Amino acid sequence: MRSSVLRRILLLSLLAGLAAAPAALAAAPAPNVATGDVADVGQTLVTLKGTVDPNGAAATYVFQYGTSALNQTTETRNVGSGDGSVSVSVQVGALRAGTKYQYRIVATNEGGSSSGATRTFTTAKAPATPPYAATGSASAIDQDGATLSATLNNRGADATYHFEYGPTTGYGASTANAPLGPDRNTHTVTAPIGGLTANTTYHYRVVLVVGATTVRGTDRSFKTAKVPNGLLIQSGSNPVRYGAGTQISGILAGSDNSGKTVTVQADTFPYGDGYSSVASGRTDGTGAYRITVSPVLTSTRYRTVADTNPDVMSQPLAVGVSVLTSIHVSTQHPRRGARVRFRGSVQPGQPGASVSIQRRVGHHWQTVARTRQTANGYSRRVRVRSSGRYRVVARASSGAHVMGASGSRTLRVRR
């Protein structure tokens, strides 16, 4: 009898322990969530933001969104199992322009799901009829120049356009801005460019500016013509800094090529006025020649003529002249976040042309500020947060010159 009572007591104790076990192993609470603001609101894109506190259990989250109902959901993403709020964001696309949407964040862990407050945003409106810019073909291509074309429609507003061009899709040079009248007609426009290198691929595109709207045409390319063999010509430096000199050199091929007079002839930008003699020299025993031309003040096409029987003429060689850019800073030891004034001169002056202030980052120069040239050069205050090497790159306003970079200045930021 006594052993039977003991067995009953043990059984009841075991059952009580099993009943208490689920309480000891209770799941973590559901996540805490908060629907945040939106960012980067465009016509078809938006970034949704929020915070999630997983409350110590592995959690996932989604954003629900829609116009009249929350009937669309982003893909499920993990947010970890920490114990503290985590900022999250998701970019959503394929939206309708000028439309009001509602959205909220929803997070789930083993303890359940939690929803943030429902908030709203409105996508940017699409212009009724956007301006149109299509890059056209290149024509009149020779060793050092070409003519670029484009088709434009500025939809009745005042506008300007120009062409960007260069040996890469970074371009680096541009034609001067040209006006486009306030009408709704489609215009075919052209612009000549020079100072190119023979047998080289160049990229180009048209840029249409209508008020605050900039429309860029697609990138296209062409290749300049080759220089045939004969009297060869090359430049020791290209481009040449404004006011400096360059050495025109080459080889007179063939027999009886020693001791011959070689004359350097020049046709300056905008070209077409004809060549004139600017310097001369003689070939050595191998037919090579090297002749200094100085100073060089504007982009120029050079050719050489050898005094043989009959005379031999080289193909044209385009030598660009980069603007001479100086740099001065108000201090080389600013406090972090302080403004430093960058100023300097650009020779020859290029009023209205852009100036970029750049900082060396790794192996590249990164633009940190921009301004435009005036008749007195340039001046711009820049908030400096990082030490490093800084320089100024000034662009040219016409084909007479190409962009030029200043020397660098090292700024050391104090705390």
If asked whether residues 315 and 356 sit together in one domain, one would say: no
Quote the pLDDT of residue 20.
47
Residues 319, 236: Cα–Cα separation, whole Å: 10
Place of tokens 């840029």: 207
Q: How confident is the model at residue 308 (pLDDT cuts 50, 70, 90)?
A: confident
Assess whether 359 and 390 both reside in one domain: yes
267-287 mean pLDDT: 92
Same domain, 314 and 351: no
**CATH at 306:** 2.60.40.10
Nearest CA to 396 out of 218, 165, 148 is that of 165
d(Cα 156, Cα 347) in Å, to the nearest integer?
A: 38
Q: Is residue 7 part of a domain?
A: no
Question: Which domain does 103 fall in, by range?
Answer: 32-122
Mean per-residue pLDDT over the chain, rounded: 90
Structure tokens at 123: 């996508």
Beta bridge partners of 389: 410
**Shared-domain flag, residues 219 and 244:** no
Residue 228 lies in a domain: no
Residue 2 lies in a domain: no
Whole-number Å distance between alpha carbons of 184 and 156: 5
* pLDDT at residue 287 in the model: 87
> 14 in a domain, yes or no?
no
Per-residue model confidence (pLDDT) at position 5? 54
Could you tell me if 404 and 392 lie in one domain?
Answer: yes
Identify each DSSP E strand in 194-350 by its residue range.
201-210, 213-216, 220-223, 234-235, 240-241, 246-251, 261-268, 276-282, 288-293, 300-306, 312-313, 317-319, 321-322, 324-325, 328-329, 339-344, 346-347
pLDDT of residue 181: 80
Structural domains counted in the chain: 4
- CATH number of domain containing 364: 2.60.40.730
- Answer with the one of 250, 285, 320 that is the final residue of a domain: 320
The partner residues of 26 in beta bridges, in order of sequence, read none
- Structural domain contains residue 238: yes
Q: Are both 303 and 239 inside the same structural domain?
A: yes
pLDDT at residue 49 greater than cutoff 60: yes
Q: Note the pTM of the prediction, 2 decimals.
A: 0.45
Give the domain-ending residue among 320, 337, 353: 320
Whether the CB-CB separation of 66 and 39 falls below 8 Å is answered with: no
Is the per-residue pLDDT at 99 higher than 70?
A: yes
In a domain, 210, yes or no: yes
Distance CA 317, CA 248 (A): 9
Higher pLDDT, 25 or 303: 303
Distance (Å, whole) CA 377 – CA 27: 70
What average pLDDT score do residues 143-163 get?
A: 93
Please check whether residue 48 lies inside any domain of the structure.
yes
Residue 355 and residue 393 in contact, taking contact as beta carbons nearer than 8 Å: yes
Whether pLDDT at 229 is above 50: no
Per-residue model confidence (pLDDT) at position 230: 65
Answer yes or no: is 9 within a domain: no
Q: What amino acid occupies position 119?
A: R
Indicate if 316 and 328 belong to the same structural domain. no
Query: Which of 289, 320, 351 is at the close of a domain?
Result: 320
Q: Residue 279 — very low, low, confident or very high, per pLDDT cuts 50/70/90? A: very high
